[in-house]
Amino acid sequence: MGRILWVVRHAEREDNINRRWRENSDLRPDNSPLSKRGCVQAQELAKRFENVQLDHVFASPFDRTVDTASRLVGHRDIAINVEPGLCEALYLCERPPGFEPIEKIKAKYPLVDINYQPIVGPKMPKEGYGDDACVPRLRTTLNGILGACKTGSVLLMAHGASVGAIHEVLIGDFKYVGQATVTKFVEKSQGKFQLEFSGDSSHLSDRSNLRPW
């Protein structure tokens, strides 16, 4: 059986609904945490995946992605590999991007594997303007992940632009999906993946305003 790639966009972020969120946070402007609704969405993702075999989990280093991944994995003994190559399109980020050092991420999210060696970063490459400018980075990242994970089921926790870029790399079609939605690719022959479904939100109790851009 070929590999399965589960691609999930992080749940709703606090700055989507609260422009003054940084008044009570020491996180950088591009590193918004999850909103209360986002935490509920992440738990609903956990419910969806509770009976799904996950052999490898990779997450962008921003709080909203690592938090969503941690809640999804729940009590299962699965390490989370923090991979900067999965992060948001860089033109939307601070310079450098505002995710925290791996030691601080680990302190907040115990499932993080501090010994994982990223494929890209933590110092990020230069990137152009626009969501599709991250496609080369995601191609490098996916090649590295698939090179390391020869078998099994792989979960990638990413952002709007990087999820779109994953679609572009695997099937040649950049596609936006909503927050907290699930996309599934299945390997049909060596290194060739077929899209089974994209941006599925059937697990969410509230499917309004998922921001599919």
Q: What is the number of structural domains in the chain? A: 1
Q: Does residue 211 sit within a domain?
A: no
Task: Tell if the pTM clears 0.95, that is, is over it.
Answer: yes
Q: Is the pLDDT of residue 1 over 70?
A: no
Q: Does residue 212 sit within a domain?
A: no
Q: Does residue 94 sit within a domain?
A: yes
Q: Is the pLDDT of residue 196 over 80?
A: yes
For residue 70, give its domain range. 4-200
Q: Does residue 213 sit within a domain?
A: no
Helix H or strand E segment including 81? strand 80-82
Q: Does residue 177 sit within a domain?
A: yes
Q: pLDDT tens across 17-27, in order?
A: 999 999 999 99
* CATH code: domain of residue 168: 3.40.50.1240
List Cβ neighbours of 23 (8 Å cut-off, separation of 6 or more): none
The DSSP secondary-structure symbol of 13 reads B
